[in-house]
Amino acid sequence: MNALLIFLNRRVNLKLFPGIPVVQRFLLPLLVLLFSTLVIYAQTAPVVFGLDAFIDVVTNNHPVMAKAELLRSRAESSVLEARGSFDPKIDMEYSNKSFDGKNYYQIYQGALKIPTWFGIDLKTSYSHNRGEYINEMDFLPSSGLWDLGLSLPLGKGLLLDERRAQLKKAQLYVQSAEQERILIINDLLRDALDSYLQWQQAYQFLRVAEDGVALAEQRLEGAVSGFLQGDKPAVDTLESFLSMQDRMQTLFKARQIFSNTRVSLSNFIWMNGQIPMELDSMAIPDLLDDDILAGFYSESLMREDALLEQHPSIAQYLLKMDQLDIEIRLSQEALKPDLRLDYFPLVSGETQLLQRLTTNNYKFGATLNYPILQRKARGKLRINEIKSQELIYDLSLKRRELDIKLDLYRQNIENQELQFALANEMVENYQRLLDAEYRKFSVGESSVFLVNSREVSYLESRKKRIETLVNLTKYRLAYIYWGASLIDLLSESTN
């Protein structure tokens, strides 16, 4: 490049090269292009946006993470709602009729009902009735009447009823929501890491393209310098210039791809889960290396059997089966006769409750309800049993799917590791060939064409190595994803 600058500073008259019109056609545009390249390269120093920092930004600010956390609150709220069926309940009623100066009746009733987990309802009430035309059956002592007793199911609802079933299912839903949260985070991290890998690959390709331009600049500088000194033919300057143009096109394309992947990566960068942010144009990723996700892959590989048994998708099927088992038990309860006994000792309000408590004063009742054919209950039970069998089949299919996926990506990883080792050797060998061609060229035993060809092969081998490493990392990512253990990255990034 120094030779070109000296050449420009001397304001060489192109007419000094008669008979060589090719120089007149391309040398001045060449200088303009080179100086434009220098302007392009004169940029602010880049800022590294590392993988750990990226994961931290995603997990702490992405809306999907916030949504995943809401699953816990929703599940806990469903438990609270189900527990509401066991809340004590107060019932009060007051009725009064007065007409034409007569007090027809004045009725007051208040009750407290306390449901229990065992299906027994405890109940206490106080009644106070008076009036000239009150029903004789409703006649009570002037001080009112207390009762304290219970309602006991002896058939349907003794072992399980609707309110106990809803609470048990809500508690299982809490566990299921946690597994769903893991799956959501697993999907988010998979997409985010894949986007970061695309960004890394684009940046590595950009560096290769920049190195290619730098090599072409050196070749062009040498060709022009040799031509000015009379050692090289003009055709070498033309060929070097064409090589420079070709690599500049590659560089421009690599810049565009790198910019596009940076914009795509911005989809995962948010502030407080609500404000989308844009990645700085000067940000660059970590350099690709063989250690990315390697440790997580090795750990996942060692506990592959546990991954299958503890996989959130498997856990969700098992929890669904537990929930359906509750429905089956509830359906079985519905086949029993609905027999309920009510017993309430009665105590006058004139004295203390416990002092007048006796078995001589009481209310007792029994209710029986039983559909003779029980077709509704039998049909519902059969439907639930069929659903349970369907879940067993789905669970088997899911286990097989996960097993095949893990085995497939494990084999791909092993194959890709061999390819990556081979790609490393090829880069080293192409580097040796290029160095040898440089030495031959320096003593006049080679040509610009052969040197350029060696450089192209060397640069392509570097790109091939990058592609192989990216594929290897993606296979590792896929294995960890299907094992649903990407969430382990969160604890790692916070350490």
Q: What is the CATH number of the domain that holds 239?
A: 1.20.1600.10
What's at 3, amino acid-wise? Answer: A
371 Cβ partners below 8 Å, 6+ apart?
377
Say if 189 falls within a structural domain. Answer: yes
Give me the pLDDT at residue 273, please.
80
Residue 226: the pLDDT is 73
Global pTM reads: 0.81
Q: What pLDDT, on a 0 to 100 scale, did the predictor assign at position 359? A: 59
Written as six digits, the tokens of 179 are 């597994």
**pLDDT value, residue 427:** 96
What single-letter DSSP state applies at residue 119? S
* Residue 22 belongs to some domain of the structure: no
Residue 213 covered by a domain: yes
Kindly state whether residue 426 falls inside one of the protein's structural domains: yes
Burial of 332 (0-12, 13-18, 19+ CB in 10 A): middle
Taken as a whole, the chain contains a residue count of 495
- Residue 8: the pLDDT is 37
Q: Is residue 240 part of a domain?
A: yes
- Of 151, 159, 161, 164, the closest CA to residue 340 belongs to 151
DSSP character string of 465-485? HHHHHHHHHHHHHHHHHHTT-
Query: Which regions of the chain are under pLDDT 50?
Result: 1-28, 32, 35-36, 38-42
**Residue 488: what pLDDT?**
81
Return d(Cα 301, Cα 295) in angstroms, integer.
10
Total count of domains within the chain: 1
Helix (H, G, I), strand (E, B) or coil at 229: coil
Cα–Cα–Cα angle for 224, 226, 227, rounded to 5 degrees: 65
H or E stretch including 115? strand 102-115
Strands (DSSP E) contained in 118-226 are 121-130, 145-153
Residue 117 lies in a domain: no
Domain-located, residue 288: yes
Range of the domain at 405: 43-78+165-322+391-494
For residue 381, the model assigns a pLDDT of 93
First to last CA, the chain: 48
CB neighbour class for 93 (10 Å; exposed up to 12, middle 13-18, buried from 19): exposed
Cα angle, residue 380 at apex, residues 379 and 383 outer, rounded to 5°? 90
On whether residue 372 sits in a domain, the answer given is no
Q: What is the pLDDT of residue 44?
A: 61
Contact 224, 237 (CB under 8 A): yes
pLDDT of the residue at 313:
93
